[in-house]
Structure 1
Amino acid sequence: MTTNPSPKFDPSPQFVILGAWGDLASRLLLPGLASLIAHRSEFAPRLLGVGRAPDGEGGDSWSALVRVKLESAGEERAERAAAQAEYVQCDLLDEYDVRALVDRLETGCVLYFALPPSVTGELVELLARTGVPEGTRLALEKPIGTSESAARELNAAAQRLVPEDRIFRVDHFLGNALVLNVLGVRFANQVFEPLWNRTYVERVEIVYDEDLTVEGRGDFYDGTGALVDMLQSHLLLVSAIVCMDEPSRIDPVEFRDLMAHALRAMRVYDGDPVASSRRARYTAGRIGDREVPDYTDEPGVDGRRGTETLAEVTLEVRSQRWAGVPIVLRSGKALGRQRRVIRLLMRPVPVVPVGLAGEAAPNVLELDLGTGDFTLGVVTSAVDDPQTLDRAVLRARLGRSALTPYGEVLEMLIDGDPLLSVRDDVSERCWAIVQPVRDAWASDAVPLETYAAGTDGPGEWSTSAG
């Protein structure tokens, strides 16, 4: 889905993965590259893995990992990529090691920072001293920094290293074709766009509930929690697409301008982070046939931190279009069911004609980001009694991209198209929006509730989002 492919970039660059043995590289980045390799026959990146390998592992193990993770692109392509793959053992915070690494970089390479934000920040500062080859592109993973000020410092350091048009801030939710389908649904249908405002919409909910636990990533997750891991980045960006004004064209300037405009108008509902946020943590329970331990008993977790595994925040957009409409963001782990939805609850009709029995339930428009189901709940007359109201659901299934969300984002990175790159001001604004909530939680003004793994969250969370 490239909007403005740039001829100035090598279509098959040296692709350097900083943090090659990390979970992100193995679970998301390499499979994303596989989907792009399968999609584009001319794409043959030269993979250079960089980091500290587990004891006893090195170049051969890296090549084997590349082969396994790229096998969905086809055996021949996976073998070719594995044969070309190289590995460098490197302490990424040691200037001597980094200078030796820079000597191996090629003109026009991609440096992909599959690293924790604290390490990314230090490494960017270090690279600013060593320099990088001409045409180098940086791919920075979310979260950008650990606060608004840290994001601003990281952005400034990256811009000292390379120009802004060579910095690609990655959030794979923007590569989800189903998220981007919101644009088509909104702006290409006369039946929806005129109603997409506070006059007709009572509430917006963006929910990303998972039945997965921390899955062995306790040491990472315990330092972030659901608020930072999901709401501060992924779900805020989705909310910007849902709430943005109509663009005249989908290009990197206007699309990202309108996202930034929506986020600049966004704040915690009523300016009250205590009343407008909730947090909870899972306890021992059962998900399907699996027994789940208490979160505090997960490896790498320090229960004294008070990290939440379920977060819900209500926001508002102070604009003519959305004033007064609650925008609810929610995400959590170890829940009883997976729900990945964008939901608009419409206001009820003001009056129902006398003679029609039953309830005129409000219309609900929902896009399932997992299945691609697009549904609209409507009120009809009952089949056997035309004077009794009934409810029906209109359903369609939206098409999916041949690429994974990471593949979509990587395609634009390779082509030099910044449409799906998170702009510097947006990465900083997302931190500013959630900071009042972080402060309220840090002071324990909002209680840390609990829920048993395998349930839908604390029982008193009775909103439709919960």
Structure 2
Amino acid sequence: MTIRRLVVFGGTGDLTGRFLLPALAALHAAGHIDDRFGLTGASREDWDGERYRKWADAQLERHGADLPADSRRAVIASADYRRADVTDPADVGAAVAGEDPVAVYLALPPALFPATVTALHEAALPPGSRIVLEKPFGEDLAGAQELNRLLADLVPERAVFRVDHFLAMTTVQNVLGSRLANRVLEPIWNSTHIAEIEIVWDETLALEGRAGYYDHVGALKDMVQNHLLQLLCLVAMEPPLTLGERDLRDRKVDVLRSVRPLTDFDVAHRTRRARYSSGRAGDREVPAYVDEDGVDARRRTETFAEIVLELDSWRWTGTRFRLRSGKGLGKDRKEVAVHFRSVPHLPFGQDKDVRPNVLRFGLEPESLSMDMTVTGSRAETLTQLALTAEMDAPALPAYGRLLLDVLGGDPALSIRSDEAEEAWRVVEPVLSAWERDLVPMEEYPAGSDGPPPRHTTPGRRDDLLHEEAVMPADS
């Protein structure tokens, strides 16, 4: 059943203006929604419908100027507004009231999810309604489990969409396509041939005015616990029977369950946290994180997080998975990099400077490339060659694809309840050890490559963060 009414709690926020409104205009331009569609924004601002439509117009002009003007006008005309306290059952009930089912989007801070879901329960959603929640899903394992219980009392699991826009990105989906549709890759997609897989989201952007959210979350919860673990699932999962919701999500949960639990010793040697100090990024001066407006230095929030995981499975035992994300760095690097092992023997008499193959899935911008070794100007010499392909522009933006699935009722790309809990199980030992200061808070200058490499003790193999078993990605 297709739903034709969307209620966004947090309807005046950055997520709505920057992503949801342009996504709706893209859906209209592609013919997926029409004039029967209705949008209700709900928030605390004392606005009326006219004021909200003017705001939506300005947001679409800013973030969706490349979309057809008639589609932008259609979305604006479909919009209405209700002033609402998202924790008040009466306000929530008035926003969702009606006979037809509604898709309720919680574009809210995660701390408000339990109270809003409780209010929705008391307000009584129309039958057939669906609920959409942004990441992070809960603030820890116990919080995720409690939120799952609240949601189970509200709607069936198939009507819960725990969305992660990374899963709708074209290149992310191409990770599966490249693996499963190419015979040359699938036979070697295992630890026999792959030494390490890096999943990286490094960005030059610093805090950019997001202290109200970011300082309560940090890099580990903001990026690693959800986005990067989702990428891990797609990279490491066993081939599903189909791409239907059950088969795909079952295999993703298998990956998370196979992650070897981290002990305190593991956390100390396989994770890092840091935050940026003042520096120069490009043409701008960046203040130290602790000096940014709205930051409370006592929280010791990290802007850089890195963890090395191992999977206890037939396919992956012996391969390292390095998940890393940082803000305020010297260059953007957003990719999945698959580092293959070296060949067993080179008959060229040139072992030095020969690098193993690396397959790279560029996430932003979207691309696919392979670092290869080929014969140089003389037959007995070798040289490096990079084969790169730019990806076609997606038919819909990531949020457009997610909203299409929500309105159409396809939860395949949403996160199931057990998957959300397993993701917290992976990172909870890290959070616990960091809270007890078992891992130091390092610093790196804004505009740099991040915290400097650790110095390891010769002969020790317990520090997997900087063990030189594969060539550095940018060397």
Shorter chain as denominator, the TM-score bin is over 0.9
CA distance in 2, matches of 1:97, 1:355: 75
| Kept in 2: contact 1:357–1:389 (CA 8 A) | no
| Kept in 1: contact 2:99–2:126 (CA 8 A) | yes
Instruction: Map 1:385-464; keep pairs closer than 5 Å.
Output: 385-460=378-453, 463=466, 464=472
Letter in 2 for 1:15: L
Letter in 2 for 1:32: A
Shift of 1:75: 2.0
Pick which of 366-375 and 90-99 moved more: 90-99
CA distance in 1, matches of 2:134, 2:416: 12
Q: In the TM superposition, what whole-angstrom CA distance separates every residue of 1:401-453 from its partner, at most 9, and x where no partner exists?
A: 12111111111111111111111111111011000100111011101101111
Shift of 1:105: 4.1
CA distance in 2, matches of 1:84, 1:273: 50
Report the equivalent of 2:274.
Answer: 280
Instruction: Map 1:150-229; keep pairs closer than 5 Å.
Output: 150-229=143-222
Residue 109 (structure 1) aligned with residue 102 (structure 2): yes
Percentage of identical aligned residues: 41
Under a length normalisation based on structure 1, what TM-score does the superposition of the two structures give? 0.93
Instruction: Map 1:268-417; keep pairs closer than 5 Å.
Output: 272-353=266-347, 355-356=349-350, 358-383=352-377, 385-417=378-410
| Kept in 1: contact 2:26–2:71 (CA 8 A) | no
Pick which of 213-222 and 456-465 moved more: 456-465
Shift of 1:358: 4.8
CA distance in 2, matches of 1:357, 1:237: 37
Report the equivalent of 2:457.
Answer: none
Letter in 2 for 1:62: Y
Letter in 2 for 1:137: R
Cα 1:437–1:443 shift into 2, 3 Å? same
Q: In the TM superposition, what whole-angstrom CA distance separates every residue of 1:148-184 from its partner, at most 9, and x where no partner exists?
A: 1211111121121111111111100001011000111
Gaps of 5+ in 2: 455-464, 467-471
Shift of 1:57: 4.3
What's the secondary structure of 1:387's corresponding residue?
Answer: coil
CA distance in 2, matches of 1:176, 1:85: 27
| Kept in 1: contact 2:233–2:256 (CA 8 A) | yes
Letter in 2 for 1:450: E
Cα 1:304–1:93 shift into 2, 3 Å? same
Report the equivalent of 1:28.
Answer: 19
Select 2:142's aligned residue among 149, 159, 163.
149
Select 2:8's aligned residue among 1, 17, 35.
17
Pick which of 41-50 and 336-345 moved more: 41-50
What's the secondary structure of 1:361's corresponding residue?
Answer: coil
| Kept in 2: contact 1:213–1:334 (CA 8 A) | yes
Select 1:67's aligned residue among 34, 57, 61.
57
Shift of 1:320: 0.8
Report the equivalent of 1:80.
Answer: 74
Report the equivalent of 1:122.
Answer: 115
Q: In the TM superposition, what whole-angstrom CA distance separates every residue of 1:277-303 from its partner, at most 9, and x where no partner exists?
A: 001101111111111111111111101
CA distance in 2, matches of 1:43, 1:234: 32
Residue 237 (structure 1) aligned with residue 230 (structure 2): yes
CA distance in 1, matches of 2:402, 2:23: 9
CA distance in 1, matches of 2:383, 2:348: 16
| Kept in 1: contact 2:277–2:288 (CA 8 A) | yes
CA distance in 2, matches of 1:355, 1:327: 32
Cα 1:294–1:440 shift into 2, 3 Å? same
RMSD: 1.8
| Kept in 2: contact 1:330–1:465 (CA 8 A) | no
Shift of 1:333: 0.7
Q: In the TM superposition, what whole-angstrom CA distance separates every residue of 1:213-263 from its partner, at most 9, and x where no partner exists?
A: 111111110000000000000000001000001123211111111111111
Cα 1:185–1:268 shift into 2, 3 Å? same
Under a length normalisation based on structure 2, what TM-score does the superposition of the two structures give? 0.91
Select 1:46's aligned residue among 26, 38, 44.
38
Pick which of 351-360 and 425-434 moved more: 351-360
Q: In the TM superposition, what whole-angstrom CA distance separates every residue of 1:68-94 from its partner, at most 9, and x where no partner exists?
A: 334544222322322331111111112
| Kept in 2: contact 1:352–1:360 (CA 8 A) | no
| Kept in 1: contact 2:274–2:442 (CA 8 A) | yes
Letter in 2 for 1:218: A
CA distance in 1, matches of 2:159, 2:293: 38
CA distance in 1, matches of 2:451, 2:33: 51
Shift of 1:373: 2.1
| Kept in 1: contact 2:171–2:367 (CA 8 A) | no
| Kept in 2: contact 1:219–1:299 (CA 8 A) | no
Letter in 2 for 1:322: W
CA distance in 2, matches of 1:421, 1:277: 28
